[in-house]
Amino acid sequence: MRAALISDHAFLADGHSAVLVDRTGSVNWWCPQRFDAPSVFGRLLDPDAGHWSIGPAQDARREWSYLTDTLVLRTVHTTAQGAVAVVDALALELGARGHDIGLRSPRLLTRIVYGLSGAVPMRLHYRPRFEYGRVVANLREEEGALIAGAGTVRLALRASIPLSCGEGEAYADFTIRGGRAEHFTLGYAPAYDTDPPIVYAAQDVVDNAVAGWRSWLDLHDYQGLYREQVRRSALVVQGMTYRPSGAVVAAATTSVPEQLGGDRNYDYRFVWARDFSFTLEALWRAACSDEVNRQFAWLGRAMGHVDGDPVPIMYGVAGERDLTEHRLDHLAGYADSQPVMVGNDAWRQRQTDVPGEALGAAWLMRAHLDDPLSPEIQQLLRTMADRTVTDWRHPDAGMWEARDMQRHHLSSKVQCWTALDRAVRFGARLAGPADLARWAAARDEVRDTVLVRGWNDALGAYAGTLDGADLDASVLLMPLVGFLPARAPRMRSTIDVIERRLSHDGLLRRWEGDPAGFVICSFWLVCCLILAGEHDRARRLFEGLAGRANDLGLFAEQIDPVTGEQVGNFPQAFSHIGLINAAGRLSDLAAGIPGVGAPPHDPLPRKC
Q: For 448-480, what is each residue's pLDDT tens digit? A: 999 999 999 999 999 999 999 999 999 999 999
User: Is the Cα torsion angle 475, 480, 481, 487 positive or negative in sign?
Assistant: positive
Residue 582 predicted with pLDDT over 60? yes
Residue 420 predicted with pLDDT over 60? yes
Q: Name every residue whose Cβ is closer than 8 Å to that of residue 580 and which is 6 or more positions away in sequence.
A: 230, 233, 234, 237, 282, 285, 286
Query: Which pLDDT score is estimated for 286?
Result: 65
| Mean pLDDT of the 81-101 span | 96
Query: Which pLDDT score is estimated for 377?
Result: 82
Query: Which pLDDT score is estimated for 416?
Result: 98
Confidence of residue 291 (pLDDT cuts 50, 70, 90): low
Report the percent of the chain where pLDDT is more than 90. 81
Query: Which pLDDT score is estimated for 219?
Result: 87
Average pLDDT, the chain: 92
Instruction: Give the H or E element holding residue 567.
Output: strand 566-567
C-beta neighbour count of 95 within 10 angstroms: 10
Query: Which pLDDT score is estimated for 603?
Result: 44
Query: Which pLDDT score is estimated for 418?
Result: 97
For strands 247-248 and 241-242, give the pairing.
antiparallel
- Is there a contact between 494 and 502 (Cβ–Cβ < 8 Å)? no
Q: What is the pLDDT of residues 98-149, one digit of tens each?
A: 989 999 999 999 999 999 999 999 999 999 999 999 999 999 999 899 999 9
Helix (H, G, I), strand (E, B) or coil at 98: helix
Nearest of 289, 286, 312 to residue 301 by alpha carbon: 312
| Mean pLDDT of the 311-338 span | 93
More confident residue, 281 or 501: 501
Residue 491 predicted with pLDDT over 70? yes
Query: Which pLDDT score is estimated for 314?
Result: 92
Query: Which pLDDT score is estimated for 230?
Result: 95
Query: Which pLDDT score is estimated for 600?
Result: 46
Confidence of residue 521 (pLDDT cuts 50, 70, 90): very high
Give dist(CA 86, CA 67) in Å, integer: 12
Residue 426 predicted with pLDDT over 50? yes
C-beta neighbour count of 434 within 10 angstroms: 8
Q: Name every residue whose Cβ is closer than 8 Å to that of residue 140 and which is 6 or more positions away in sequence.
A: 146, 147, 149
Lowest mean pLDDT: which of 5-9, 517-521, 593-597? 593-597
Give dist(CA 517, CA 534) in Å, integer: 21
Give dist(CA 71, CA 86) in Å, integer: 14
Query: Which pLDDT score is estimated for 2?
Result: 65
| Mean pLDDT of the 3-10 span | 92
Residue 604 predicted with pLDDT over 80? no
Confidence of residue 366 (pLDDT cuts 50, 70, 90): confident
Give dist(CA 72, CA 111) in Å, integer: 10
N-to-C CA span, the chain: 46
Residue 596 predicted with pLDDT over 60? no
Query: Which pLDDT score is estimated for 306?
Result: 64
Confidence of residue 288 (pLDDT cuts 50, 70, 90): low
Q: Where do the domains of the chain lie, and which CATH numbers do they carry?
A: 6-217 (2.70.98), 220-591 (1.50.10.10)
Instruction: Give the H or E element holding residue 586.
Output: helix 573-591
Query: Which pLDDT score is estimated for 305?
Result: 66
- Is there a contact between 49 and 60 (Cβ–Cβ < 8 Å)? no
Give dist(CA 330, CA 307) in Å, integer: 38
Angstrom distances, CA of residue 294 to CA of 53, 222, 376, 464 = 36, 19, 16, 34
